[in-house]
Amino acid sequence: MQNLAFKKKVTSSDKSPITGTLDLVTDGDKESNDNSFVELHRRTQWVQIDLERRAKIYAVVVWHAHNTFQVYHDVIVQVSDDPDFTQNVITVYNNDYDNSSGLGVGTDKEYFETYEGRLMDAKGVEGRYVRAYSRGSTYSALNRYTEIEVWGLPLD
Ligand SMILES: [Ca+2]
Ligand SMILES: [Ca+2]
DSSP 8-state assignment for residue 137: B
- What average pLDDT does the segment 126-132 reach? 98
- Name the closest ligand to CA 6: 1
Distance from Cα 25 to the centre of ligand 1, integer Å: 5
The confidence band for 156, taking pLDDT boundaries of 50, 70 and 90, is confident
**Domain around 65:** 2-154
Q: Is 24 helix (H, G, I), strand (E, B) or coil?
A: helix
Question: What is the tally of structural domains in the chain?
Answer: 1
- What average pLDDT does the segment 123-145 reach? 98
The confidence band for 45, taking pLDDT boundaries of 50, 70 and 90, is very high
From the list 70, 81, 152, 54, the residue with the least C-alpha distance to 114 is 70
Do residues 134 and 14 lie in contact, with contact meaning Cβ atoms separated by under 8 Å? no
Count of CB atoms situated within 10 Å of the CB of 35: 9
Beta strands in the chain (DSSP E): 2-3, 10-12, 38-40, 45-63, 76-80, 90-94, 118-134, 143-145, 147-154
From the list 106, 128, 119, 123, the residue with the least C-alpha distance to 149 is 119
Distance from Cα 95 to the centre of ligand 2, integer Å: 7
- Name the closest ligand to CA 135: 2
Distance from Cα 30 to the centre of ligand 1, integer Å: 5
3-state secondary structure 50-64: EEEEEEEEEEEEEEC
Plot region of 74 (φ>0 → left; ψ -120 to 50 → alpha; else → beta) = left
Distance from Cα 97 to the centre of ligand 1, integer Å: 28
- At residue 10, the pLDDT reads 98
User: What's the pTM?
Assistant: 0.97
Distance from Cα 69 to the centre of ligand 2, integer Å: 19
For a pLDDT cut of 70, what percent of the chain falls above it?
Answer: 100
Do residues 94 and 84 lie in contact, with contact meaning Cβ atoms separated by under 8 Å? no
Write out pLDDT tens, residues 69-117. 999 999 999 999 999 999 999 999 999 999 999 999 999 999 999 999 9
Q: What's the CATH number where 14 sits?
A: 2.60.120.260
